[in-house]
Amino acid sequence: MKASLRIASLAFWAASISPFSSATTIPLQQAQPALNCNRTCLETHLSTYLSALIAHDPTLLPTTPSVKYVENDQILPFTPSTGIWSLASTLGTYRHIFSDPSTGNVAAFTTILENGIGAIYIVRLKVDADGKLSEIETQITRDPTGAARYEKLGKPEDVWVQAVPIEERISRELLISQTNKYYSGLYEVGRWAADDECKDGRSVWAFK
């Protein structure tokens, strides 16, 4: 059960980094510039990114001059000597890709070896209207046991890639608001820990 819990919590992370994290900074309905990168194009960007990563060569990527690179919550210079860019040695085989052509975002959960040691690697790329990467947001979890579980799984469970019939889909806004409850819940837990009087059950945790 532990394994599936871990995967479920990572799923929240992916849901939050893909188009959803922009919800906190950009009004949801804001008009987007026309984007020219469909799902195939986004997946190509992702695979180019991963190849460049293990080649330790950021220059193989089309990036904007002000590309924002984030690794484990820190904004870092995007150079061959930065963090995992200097350490990644081999790509793993597990890869679960989330593409969102409507916002030019693509993200993946994957596995990677750093100096031969397995880790879980999550990445989100933002492709701008000129086909350049403007944001690279990554999380590396140095957990060889977790990485081995993904490798054993081999590929994402089928349910992830089964299309939900249109009439059964919930709206993008509802998906975003449900995901954000996870974060508001975390915030409230912090408040409760700091102040007993806050333990009044105000936060809504329901994932329906």
Ligand X SMILES: *[C@@H]1O[C@H](CO)[C@@H](O)[C@H](O)[C@H]1NC(C)=O
Among 11, 23, 41, 91, binds ligand X (CB under 6 A): 41
Residue nearest to ligand X (CB): 38
Which residues have a Cβ under 8 Å from the Cβ of 28 and sit 6 or more positions away?
Answer: 172, 173, 176
R_g of the chain computed on alpha carbons: 18
Structure tokens at 155: 């590929």
Residue 90 binds ligand X, judged by CB under 6 A: no
Report the distance separating Cα 166 and Cα 180, nearest Å.
23
Q: Give residue 73's Cα distance to chain centre.
A: 12
Residue 148 binds ligand X, judged by CB under 6 A: no
3-state secondary structure of 146: helix
CB-nearer residue toward ligand X: 42 or 112: 42
| Binding to ligand X, residues 9-28 (CB under 6 A) | none
Q: How many residues bind ligand X (CB under 6 A)?
A: 3
Task: Name the one range near ligand X by CB under 6 A: 7-15, 22-30, 38-46, 89-97.
Answer: 38-46
Residue 102 binds ligand X, judged by CB under 6 A: no
Q: How far is the CB of 178 from ligand X (least distance, A)?
A: 29
CB-nearer residue toward ligand X: 62 or 185: 62
Distances in Å between the Cα of 116 and the Cα atoms of 24, 56, 92, 109, 129 are 37, 15, 11, 19, 37
Q: How far is the CB of 100 from ligand X (least distance, A)?
A: 15
Among 4, 9, 24, 38, binds ligand X (CB under 6 A): 38
Question: What single-letter DSSP state applies at residue 60?
Answer: G
Query: What is the contact surface with ligand X in residues (CB under 6 A)?
Result: 38, 40-41
